[in-house]
Structures are given as C-alpha cells and as structure tokens.
Homo-oligomer: A and B are copies of this chain.
Amino acid sequence: MMPRLNETYFENDMNNNQHITSLFRPDVQRLTGYIPGEQPQESGWTKLNTNENPYPPSPNVVNAICKAATSPLNKYPDPLVKHFRELASELFQVDPDWILPGNGSDEILTILLRSFVDAGESIAFPYPSYILYGTLAEIQGAKYEHLPLNTDWSFAPGAKQIARRSKMVFVPNPNSPSGNCWSDEELHSLIPEKGIFVLDEAYGDFRDSPHRGEFLQSEFGKQTVITRTLSKSYSLAGIRFGFAIAHPDIITGMRKVKDSYNCNSLSIAAACAAISDQPWMQKNKEAICKTRTRLAKSLSEFGFDVMPSQANFLWCTHQEKPHSELFEQLKQRKILVRYMKFEQAGPELNQTVDGLRITIGTDEQIDTLINALKEMV
C-alpha cells in the first residue's frame, strides 16, 4: 500500500524545498496573483460582488447542453468553433474570420498579452479599472502604467501621453468599478502609436446604445481588438465563453498562440444557443437597468454618492460611513458586495480611492440589501 502524499512528505528535505520554489520564473515568484471576488460554495448568500447576472440563461441553453451531452464527447471539439463564429459575425456585422472564441474573455486577454507584449515592454490601462490587466502583464514579464483619471472618471491630462507610448492599451467600456462609459472621441486619443488597443466590452450590452463593432471601422480599427463575454449579459459565467473581434490579420496571429482546443463542446453549444436568443438577453438587460435605477435612488437617500452607471453594477461612496465597515456589516448579514480600495489613484496618481461596487441583482435581492442598509445607515 502506497503512503498518501501530503504537505509534510518532504519535510525533512528543507534544502530541496527552498530549491523548488526558486525554480519559478522570478516574475512569478514576485507575483501576488489576481484575487477574484469571493465565491461562497454554500447557499444562503445574497451575492452582489462579482457582477453575475441574477437571471438564468435562455431556456434554449439548457436544451442545447443536454443535447450536446449525448453528442460524441469522446471526440475533440471543433478547434475553430465555426458555428459560433458564424452566429457572432451576423450580430456584429463582420466576417467570421474576424472572431476568435476563448475560454472566457479572461483567456482572450491572456492570449492578447502573450501575442503582442514582450518581456520589458509596457502596457497601460485606466486606474481604477480591471486589475487583472496588470497581473497578466506581470506574468508576461512586462511592465504596466496606470492611465490617470479625474474625480469624475474622465481621463486626466497625462493619460494620453502614457497610452500613446504603450505596446498595448486596455480600456473597459463601460468601466469597472465605476460603470461609466467613455466616448469614442476620448478612446481615439488613447490609441497607442505602435501598439494594440483593446476595447474590453465585458459590460457592453448593458449600455443604452451598445456598440456592435463600429469602433473597428475607424481609422484605428486595424489596431483595435474588441473583447466580449457571455458571462454577464447572457447569464453564462459558469460556462466560460468569451470572444475577440478584430481584423483577420490579428485573429490569425492570436490563433497560433491559443491552445488548439480552447473551447469545449458543451460550452460551444451553450454559447451558440445563448447568442441566438437575443430577446431573452434584452429582457434581462431591461430588468437589470430598471432595478439599477431603483437602487441608485435608494442609495442616494441613504447618503451615498452614486456614479451613473451603464453597466450591471453601481459604484458608490458614502459621505460618512467607512466603506470597509459597511462591507463587513453587510457580510455579517450574508450579503456580499465588493469593497474596493485603490492606492495611488486620482489625476496625479497619489490619492486613495475606495468604495463599494454593488452588482444589480433581482428585485428581491436588492430589497434585501436596501432593508439591511436601512438598519445600518
């Protein structure tokens, strides 16, 4: 009988222990690692912390998955994900070879870094925004700079110059955690001189007037990669499916970097069914936007400053109560929101910005939150 291996198996071998950790790339040794929002696996939580859609996906998705479950799963999936690309190409009015599917848009971001950014080169992204961009740069051995933002979340004067000299610029639009959108004119000023502009539209469907790839038609279109996910608007965070839209020259190169079979037969089936049911997605979007308006009003009444949002979450700051305390008090009531703190932010990158990012849930979930806040503030 073989002994079970546990953490202490090599404990008498301390030198070797030291040795192994030092085999990691120095960039990886230094890395803290990206910490996603908490994902409690037990039930009973009002989960408003990771911008998931509170509504289920289209019923067609369930049927498509069950059908795929009895398809030949012993065979590899289609490495080019042809069917999904055809469907997405109709929606975005591009040819299918402008589409690259991925295992979540996080994988698309990873592929972008690995395709275009060499060790020592520098990327840039607005700050505060999605922290993962910086983590991915660090893994790649690259550097990153923050594009400074004014208090109203417009770009501060220094942003343009930093963006212009970067190898890759990431801009989430709408932005997280703020929920605001920047205009195409503002974005055009951030196109790198010799680099790739990534327009991260993870929350794009929640806008009043969603983009449909128009950005690619501008003179900067060939340098631009739009990233999209089915996690948010299509209620499919669980299946990990995102995609890039860009000129075929870009897609072809990125395809060399991705794993051959990066999407699986089940998630492909689910994604195809979801993107084909636009009315379902639109209905949920409208419900979320309506609830968002109601929550924003309540939060204002409780003394919060609420940033107008084009996404499925609200960024709010309170004039009196410390945000970390509010977060903890809500957590004690089994309500999870996201407390976020950004050091060295602001137009001069020398202020601390913190606040609460609250995902828009169902009306019932938001009532639970409002009732809790009533007792607290």
Most buried by B among A77, A78, A117: A77
Residue numbers in B under 8 Å from A75 (CB-CB): 39, 47, 52, 237-238
Total interface residues in chain A, CB < 8 Å:
108
**Is A178 positioned at the interface, with any CB of B under 8 Å from its CB?**
no
Q: Provide the A254-298 mask, 1 if CB < 8 A to any CB of B, else 0.
A: 011101111111110010000000000000000000000000000
The verdict on A115 contacting B25 (CB below 8 Å), with A20-B249, A264-B267 known, is yes
Residue numbers in B under 8 Å from A212 (CB-CB): 2
**Is A322 positioned at the interface, with any CB of B under 8 Å from its CB?**
no
With A and B bound together, what is the CA distance between A257 and B223 in angstroms? 27
**Is A104 positioned at the interface, with any CB of B under 8 Å from its CB?**
yes
With A and B bound together, what is the CA distance between A47 and B76 in angstroms? 11
With A and B bound together, what is the CA distance between A62 and B70 in angstroms? 6
Instruction: Using CB atoms and an 8 Å cutoff, list the residues of chain A in contact with chain B.
Output: 2-7, 9-10, 13, 16-17, 19-21, 23-29, 31-34, 36, 39, 41, 47, 50, 52-57, 61-62, 65-66, 68-79, 82, 93-95, 97-98, 103-104, 106-107, 110, 114-119, 139, 141, 167, 194-196, 212-214, 216-217, 221-223, 231, 235-240, 247-250, 253, 255-257, 259-267, 270
